[in-house]
């Protein structure tokens, strides 16, 4: 029996990818599926398209793009009464969430998994009114994701975040905030970076929250208090590899809720999408989503 499928693609100015997707859509249609392709043009389009697909009771939404595209789709379906299954074609700048499941970048294989793979229940997290499924970060590295231009991302891929991140090391800034978990206060003071993980990878492969599991009903929280520059530089490889849990410079907690209260406006990334403010309330959404996996 054929499926009703919406494919939402962030084209990134790559005509070859669009042609490849066009061929894949035709194959799906020959197999008896009803396929509606949508190309995003500006921020928020994927959320609008995903919400429309859910209201039309489509069976499957395929997010073809990076973590930002996936995030927009999740925000389109998290609150809908009918919730399509979510499949991911990881063809964006950073594909950290898709990498957690070993999803291929090949469109034909990715669509095979989308239609015939295994659905996995995945927790949906929330910060204020924004949903996310991967990782939210604040402090060091946050400006890198915001400042990496679309052209730099297109040319360098995930290395764009590394290049812009090097500039942050030159002018390493600390911020001040209080971190309150469901179990009590975790930290109050100056910090360099924090992360809230529903999954493990962010920033092109850094495992800031290495103990996170997408279906365990918990948020993993990392805080690195303000330490001298050279000690932070020494810690960076551990943060990249996910081997920092036992470091004396790291606070790590698994919890159901987290409130971050900053002294000044603080930029925060949510699956690569920027928000800002002085108070961020993290929690898990009551209903998971279904993600197609190999």
Question: Looking at the annotation, which residues are catalytic?
Answer: 273
H, E, C per residue of the chain: CCCEEEEEECCCCCHHHHHHHHHHHHHHHHCCCEEEEEECCCCCHHHHHHHHHHHCCCCEEEEEECHHHHHHHHHHHCCCCCCCEEEEEECCCCCHHHHCCCCCCCHHHHHHHHHHCEEEEECCEEECCEEECCEEEEECCHHHHHHCCHHHHHHHCCHHHHHHHHHHHHCCCCEEEEEEECCEEEEEEEEEEEEEECCCEECCCEECCCCCCCCCCCEEEEEEECCCHHHHHHHHHHHHHCCCCCCCCCEEEEECCEEEEEEEEEEEEECCEEEEEEEEEEEECCCCEEEEEC
- Dihedral sign from CA coordinates of 217, 257, 181, 177: positive
Instruction: Kindly state the tokens that stand for 234.
Output: 């020494």
CA 62 to the chain's CA centroid: 16
């Amino acid at each position: 029996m054929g499926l009703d499928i919406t494919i939402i693609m962030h084209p990134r100015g790559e005509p070859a990818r669009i042609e490849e997707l066009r061929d894949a859509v035709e194959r799906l249609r020959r197999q008896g599926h009803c396929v509606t392709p949508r190309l995003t043009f500006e921020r928020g389009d994927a959320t609008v398209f995903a919400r429309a697909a859910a209201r039309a009771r489509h069976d499957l939404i395929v997010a073809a793009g990076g973590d930002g595209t996936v995030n927009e789709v999740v925000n389109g379906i998290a609150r809908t009464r009918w919730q399509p299954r979510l499949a991911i074609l990881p063809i964006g700048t950073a594909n950290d969430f898709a990498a957690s499941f070993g999803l291929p970048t090949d469109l034909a294989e990715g669509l095979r998994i989308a239609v015939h793979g295994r659905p996995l229940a995945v927790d949906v997290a929330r910060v204020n009114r924004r949903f996310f499924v991967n990782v939210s970060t604040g402090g060091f590295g946050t400006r890198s994701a915001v400042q990496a231009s679309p052209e730099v991302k297109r040319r360098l891929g995930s290395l764009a975040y590394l290049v812009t991140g090097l500039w942050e090391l030159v002018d390493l800034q600390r911020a001040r905030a209080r971190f309150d978990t469901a179990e009590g206060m975790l930290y109050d003071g100056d910090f360099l970076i924090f992360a809230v993980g529903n999954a493990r990878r962010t920033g092109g492969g850094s495992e800031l929250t290495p103990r996170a599991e997408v279906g365990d009903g918990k948020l993993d929280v990392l805080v690195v208090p303000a330490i001298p520059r050279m000690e932070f530089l020494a810690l960076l490889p551990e943060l990249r590899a996910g081997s920092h849990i036992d470091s004396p410079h790291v606070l790590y907690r698994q919890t159901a809720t987290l409130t971050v209260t900053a002294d000044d406006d603080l930029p925060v990334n949510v699956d690569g999408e920027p928000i800002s403010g002085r108070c961020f309330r993290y929690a898990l959404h009551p209903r998971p989503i279904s993600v197609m996996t190999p």
